[in-house]
Structures are given as structure tokens and as C-alpha cells.
Amino acid sequence: MIDPRTLRFLSAADVRRALPMKEAIEAMKSAFRELSENRAVVPLRTHVSMPEHQGDVLVMPAYSPDTARFALKVITLFENNPALNLPFIQAMVMLFDTVTGSPVAIMEGTSLTAIRSGAASGAATDLLARKQARKAAIFGAGIQARTQLEAICAVRPIREASVFDQDLSRAAVFAREASAELGITVTVAATSAAALDGAEIICTATTSATPVFADGEVAAGTHINAIGSYKPHMREIPQATVVRADCVVDQLDAAWEEAGDLILPLKAGLIQTDHIRAELGEIVAGTKPGRTHPDTVTFFKSVGIAIQDLAAANCVLANAVKLGLGTEVPL
């Protein structure tokens, strides 16, 4: 039972304990379905640029009548932070009860963002990747990349993964720790081609503004999750790959506002707006099919939607109450 006169504070450790990946994946499926069926209110996020500090602030609200909850996430992305031994991404999430308007929780949002982003790709992988996919390629070696691999391992029988990152030492740490945590073989790839050799699922979680691999390196039947780029001028995926892929997004409006992976080939005249076949929620609901052919390259592009944060935060709070996690403060 949640007392409306108290506010629960949840740390990163609390969030991680209260949001196991398999539960997060199911929460994302429900959230995307709610979004595509127009049952949620999710304005496009507000973007505040701070170029003098090479930083961006995103303000992301969402309201779910189904759960009677409103969430507000403020997330910062500062490119110089890794050199300062600080996370590139930092965030906080506030959760409100919409029957009374009372705030019910404030939680650390960096861990929540990483888990829900991984879970979104896990949901897409479950619906679009070949059922017996066993090898993954991960581009990037940060916290987002780690949850990407964790999520695809939760929905497919992954036995092997390659990680490619410009920072080889960071990639080596990723490979060692992911191997131990997931019980699979994870190796460092020296090139993008080496990473993609035999890969059936690709996840890109980088800050790159240009493609991180070549189209010719992507085999038929591969599934791609791209979550790194979130600006119209940024892209991780080659245009030629986007053109030949079966494209699915988290939300159409957000994709055409922010997803450079799709906006740039559109502006170049290589695709039309109907190149996006579906929102993921439509596939969850069964109104549109998932994978349609074994040899199709499927491509899930996510810029991140506030309904994901709301669904994840709601799951965190429910589990935190059951487990007695967090600190309650009287209002």
C-alpha cells in the first residue's frame, strides 16, 4: 500500500534490484502497445542544448490512464563526462499518482534508462529476430550496451557475442564482465567486420554521428537494434542498410522528429515515409506482423519514449514496495 503522504526515494541499486530484465521487457511490450493504441499521452520531449558544455538536457513527460500514473524524466547527456569519470547519461525520474496528483516516488534514472532501453530492444528482438539466433554483435561498451546484450540474451539462445568500441580497454572490460554475468563467450572485435562475422543480431549503443559498420558486412536475416543516435543529423546505421531493411520504430512522430538514421536517407530521397512499416506496439498488439521472411534484414530504431520510463518506474515502485526498498520521506 502506497501512502500518498510519503515520497519514496530509490537509488540506482534499488532500481536495478526492482527492475529485472524479463519483467522490464514485458513492461515495454505493454507500454508500446498502449502508445500505439493511443491510450497514453506522450508529448514529444523538450530538448535543451548546452553547446558550450557539449551537453543536452531532455525533458520527457508521459501519462498513462491505464495505470493512473504520470512520470517526468529529466535526462542529461554530456559528452565530456567520461573524461571526468562521470557517466555520459544521467537522469532522475519522478512518478505521480494521477487520481490525487500526489508525487509517490523519485528514483535514479540512469540505471532505469539503461534497463528500459535494453528492454525495448529485447522486446523488438523477441518479435523480429530469427528464433534460433545465437550470435550477437554489440557496438559500444557503456552501460547502455551492457543492457542491450543482457536483454537479447533474455529472449534468444545467445551463446556468443562480439563487442566493438573505439576504446579497446573499455571493450575488454565489457567482454570480461559480460562473459561472467551472462555465462556466454564475449570477445573484443578489432574491426566492425570482425564484430559482424556470423552475427545474427546487432545492437548499436554509441555516440557516433556516422555509421559504425558497412552495409556489406550485414548478412541476410540479421536483426538490428539501433538506440544510440537521438538527433536528426546523427546516424549509426548505413543508408544502404536502412534502404534494404524492414523498418520498425518505437513511435512514428518521434522517429521523424529525431531519428537521423531514418531522416537522413529520407532527405536524400532514398526512402519515403512509408518505409517505416510499423510501430513496435502494433506488432505487440498483433495488428501488424513481426518477421515476415527468414532472410529479411529487420531494423528497430528507437529514440526512447517517455512511456517507457513511466512503465519502468511503475514496475520499480511496485517491486520496491513488495521488497521494502528505498527510503520513505513524509511530505
pLDDT reported for residue 5: 83
Same domain for 146 and 247, yes or no, is: yes
Q: Is residue 118 part of a domain?
A: no
Pairing between β-strand 69-78 and β-strand 55-64 as defined by DSSP bridges: antiparallel
**CATH number of the domain encompassing residue 78:** 3.30.1780.10
Same domain for 177 and 320, yes or no, is: no
Q: Is residue 320 part of a domain?
A: yes
Q: Is residue 11 part of a domain?
A: yes
pLDDT reported for residue 331: 85
pLDDT reported for residue 283: 98
Same domain for 214 and 282, yes or no, is: yes
Q: For residues 69 and 306, is the Cβ–Cβ distance under 8 A? A: no
Tens digits of residue pLDDT in 286-300: 999 999 999 999 999
**CATH number of the domain encompassing residue 237:** 3.40.50.720
Strand residues in the chain grouped as ranges (E): 6-10, 46-50, 55-64, 69-78, 89-97, 103-108, 135-139, 160-164, 185-188, 201-204, 223-226, 246-249, 276-279, 298-301, 327-330
pLDDT reported for residue 230: 86
Same domain for 188 and 231, yes or no, is: yes
Indicate whether this model's pTM tops 0.85: yes
Residues 6+ away with beta carbon under 8 Å from 298: 128, 129, 222, 223, 224, 245, 246, 248, 291
Q: Walk along the chain (331 residues) in steps of 10 and give the mean pLDDT of each run.
A: 82 98 98 96 93 95 96 95 90 96 96 97 98 97 96 98 96 98 98 98 96 98 95 96 98 95 98 98 98 97 96 97 95 85
Same domain for 144 and 88, yes or no, is: no
Same domain for 108 and 152, yes or no, is: no
Residue ranges making up the domain that contains 74: 6-112+307-330
Q: Is residue 121 part of a domain?
A: no
Q: How many domains does the structure of the chain reveal? A: 2
Same domain for 33 and 149, yes or no, is: no
Q: Is residue 120 part of a domain?
A: no
Q: Is residue 324 part of a domain?
A: yes
Same domain for 91 and 159, yes or no, is: no
Q: Over the chain, what is the mean pLDDT?
A: 96
Same domain for 236 and 96, yes or no, is: no
Residues 6+ away with beta carbon under 8 Å from 86: 78
